[in-house]
Structure 1
């Protein structure tokens, strides 16, 4: 054991593949920036294999200074809420034991007890629960766009996005055991038609927050300093994304499909569709999904529709119908980075989660948004409307959001309205509008790359964060 012990940071990772991948890249950047950093990434058993794969993609210097710690408590069900509850139960006991330990030897390094907790915002403050006992600094990590954070959590002067969530918590806490109302009923009762104004984003109705940064980010980031009940210092470290090309892998059926489309139809001839790891159109929207797929093929495109979500359920009759002509494939998993980098890829139909959005931006692929909830709605509004890097589907909305949005658009949700909307979008994507959106997306990708390269705004912010937590 030579020299001073490494500074030990604990990272409390979110229990999902998308959050975990972004977390691993962020932690690798932190380790590469600060040679005296050592990180314990705390997660649950179901995420260990994936975490190990992500870690294996990084350099030896990262692998020897980042360990994966597995919670002793197992989730009762695969639901994210149960996963977070399991992390909460296991983490607080574990962290209290860690602060009482002496420096330990990894074989290559001596590591001090933890001095700081960085926590994925999705947990809601698990690291704060025992702070009076562990006395560690807790730094929240938001793995998305700043505008989405304000839209959900901002104070009254900055859109008051937290109003709905605050009211929902109050309503749920007032319920008596055995007489609980369904969540949907409480949500509809608390929902309003008020317009939310978030700095840097187009105005939107509160009911649009559940529908099924970049040049804007400085405006939102400035607002972040005063947008919450307590002042905060934001460190805008940039997107937690890979910069190299997609890792080389053996060609699979998706690669062969893309190569064939490129050979027969040329560049930008394939639409890629995926809804992430947790989202998928509800059964009531299955017919709309079928209409959209039919129109994609009718307009001369081919389609890669990734069914990676555990909620991706399509009737076998629909699968048989849409794949019959050989123009559509339905892989259970697709290497998204490889698909986005392929010259045959035209547009990406996505739920609009931040990882998918940022991966498309980095690779210059415009997006057709079909958002559901969380940050997806603000990502769609900003990227499609503010930045003109894609389109948002409106007629597919369900629930309270199927009402009003823009003065010139009547949301009916009829089959004909969905068919007309997707046809218009696809036609525009093939013309001057689509060309401009692709140029806009490539420009944004260049901004993103520069932000996390040495000396970029994200790189400088990462260094400031490191100094703030003791490096």
Structure 2
């Protein structure tokens, strides 16, 4: 039942199959509720994300959670889903939103909780990959409900993936008009193939946006799915009333200025509200007894006692990506063992294939561990963790900022190459070159005077050399630069911080 003190209602939605689209949305929900006590937030999702959202919210401190929980509704509107979750259309979104818009009843299919009696929503923050949600809201509420596109990476990658050509973007120029977008929607609905375009975006070559173009992903792109999803995002970013970006000016001031100018030309606002991570108490990494995590913490504690703080290299490509040229991966792991560099490798990808002999080599090393899944935030928060070798997804980078753990990049595609290039440019991270693979990945990188060898042997030599650099003056310099950037990013949520101001401005503008 809605509270009589509640006068404003905001709806949130991220694609249920993309945890990277939902994790920071949990933090945004909390920030909104802390900022505006008269607001209720209803977060519409599906079963694949529901349990993760509930688990993520448990990181928030109990006392603070109690103060907002009556105004936060997590509603599973779809139940279990089948098929490639990245492009599922939720037919249940339209009736669920219609119920909210009429102040009617809506029941969570997982918890059985029913909500009703809240005021009609006036603002929706929606993932631009979910075309069904945009179309449903416009059909049901017209312009009575404002829609802000929810972009879960940074301004630079948004400009490249969705921006106009004059800013180095790949969007079809036809999308700049309502007629062009309508025509493209008809093509998508008809299942016509969508062309994907990749112009040059200095200081890189166009093909460097696919440095590991042979990577395996958690779905098969038989119908040019990636290009279709990209086009959907491009369409609905333009049809939204504004955009919420999980970045900050201190990370990429040039890109932020360009993005805001682009949106200003459309007479729409662009808000930077990052980095976004729930900053409540984390588990005590030195003595956690959480189920399934004790063996990881014991390993971390042992490495710290033997090698000291900042001695461990944590490695993960997230839940989706995995290199198909696995010989490069085994070579990197061999190089770390040869250099006696302690590491923990988490590899949850459904496509990972770990040879028994490599597992034995890691176990016998006495300095390393490999696991199918690991508590990443807990590992990054542990004092033993000194470096994070990552694919470079924005959520992983935000978590590294929170724990001030500098990064080594092995990017595959999407926003990852931009993140790697940006951090390398700032001298706040390292990027591996010899691990690149595939038709595009093995072409000459922009910042290399000579063509790398791109072999397992050269990949092992590169990581061995990098370990020496990490332990020397260059590693200290990069760590110092990264920590300064992390501190600046994390300060964006202080009382007078940029992100806090942007969130307040967003709510002021759209909750009048």
For residues 13 and 296 of structure 1, the distance between their equivalents in structure 2, rounded to whole angstroms, comes to 38
Counterpart residue number, 2:445: 405
Structure 2 Cα separation of the partners of residues 13 and 363 of structure 1: 25
Question: Is contact 1:5–1:110 with CA below 8 Å preserved after alignment?
Answer: no
2:54 equivalent among 52, 55, 67? 52
Would you say the 8 A contact 1:117–1:127 is kept in 2? Answer: no
Distance 2:190 2:105 in 1: 48
What is residue 211 of structure 1 aligned with on the other side?
211
Task: Output the aligned Cα RMSD.
Answer: 3.1
Partner of 1:112: 119
Question: Which residue of the partner structure matches residue 274 of structure 1?
Answer: 316
Match of 1:339 in 2: 379
Match of 1:80 in 2: 86
User: Does 446-455 or 14-23 show the bigger shift?
Assistant: 14-23
Alignment partners' CA distance in 2, 1:237 and 1:174: 31
**Residues of 2 paired with 1:109 and 1:124: CA distance?**
26
Deviation larger for 331-340 or 205-214: 205-214
What secondary structure does 1:160 align onto? coil
1:149 counterpart (150, 155, 158): 158
Residue 207 of structure 2 aligns to a residue whose secondary structure is helix
Q: 2:269 aligns with which of 229, 233, 243?
A: 233
Supply the distance in 2 between the matched residues of 1:431 and 1:18 (Cα, whole angstroms). Answer: 34
Change in 2 beyond 3 A, CA 1:416/1:69 = same
Structure 1 residue aligned with 2:10: 9
Q: Secondary structure at the match of 1:80?
A: helix
Partner of 2:426: 387
Superposed displacement of residue 244, structure 1: 4.2
Does 1:306 find its partner at 2:308?
A: no
Q: Is the 8 A contact 1:208 1:377 kept in 2?
A: yes
Q: Give the equivalent residue in structure 1 for 2:477.
A: 436
Give the deviation of 1:333 after TM superposition.
2.0
Q: Choose which of 288, 302, 306 in structure 2 pairs with 1:260.
A: 302
8 Å CA contact 1:352–1:377 kept in 2: the answer is yes
Task: Judge conservation of contact 1:102–1:112 (CA < 8 Å) in 2.
Answer: no
Equivalences for residues 83-232 of structure 1 within 5 A: 85=89, 87=90, 89-101=91-103, 111-124=118-131, 126-135=133-142, 136-162=145-171, 173=187, 194-197=199-202, 203-212=203-212, 214-227=249-262, 230-232=266-268
Q: Secondary structure at the match of 2:10?
A: strand
Give the superposition deviation at 1:174. Answer: 9.6
- How far the C-alpha of 1:264 sits from its partner, in A, is 1.3
Give distance in 2, aligned partners of 1:134 and 1:408: 56
Q: Which residue of 2 aligns with 1:200?
A: none
Structure 1: which 5+ residue stretches go unaligned?
198-202
Equivalent position to 1:43, from 10, 34, 45: 45
Matches within 5 A, 1:286-301: 286-301=326-341
Equivalent in 380, 398, 409 of residue 369 of structure 1:
409
Q: Confirm or deny: 8 A CA contact 2:20 2:152 kept in the other structure.
A: no
Contact 1:154 1:160 in 2 (8 A): yes
Q: For residues 38 and 371 of structure 1, what CA distance do their matches in structure 2 show?
A: 38
- TM superposition score normalised by structure 2: 0.80
Distance 1:72 1:414, change over 3 A: closer
> In structure 2, do the counterparts of structure 1 residues 191 and 392 end up closer, same or farther at CA, with 3 Å as the change threshold?
same
Q: CA deviation at 1:267?
A: 2.2
1:263 positional shift:
1.1
| Contact kept? 1:157, 1:227, Cα under 8 Å | no
Q: C-alpha deviations, 1:404-445, integer Å up to 9, x for none? A: 212414133112221222222221111111101111111112
- The 1:349–1:459 alpha-carbon spacing in structure 2 relative to 1, beyond 3 Å, is same
Give the superposition deviation at 1:3.
Answer: 4.3
Q: How many residues align?
A: 448
Deviation sequence 1:76-120 (CA, Å, 0-9, x none):
3253223xx2x3x2212321232123699x999962122221112
Aligned to 1:396: 435
Cα distance, 1:215 vs. partner?
A: 3.0
Cα contact 2:342–2:367 (8 A) shared by 1: yes
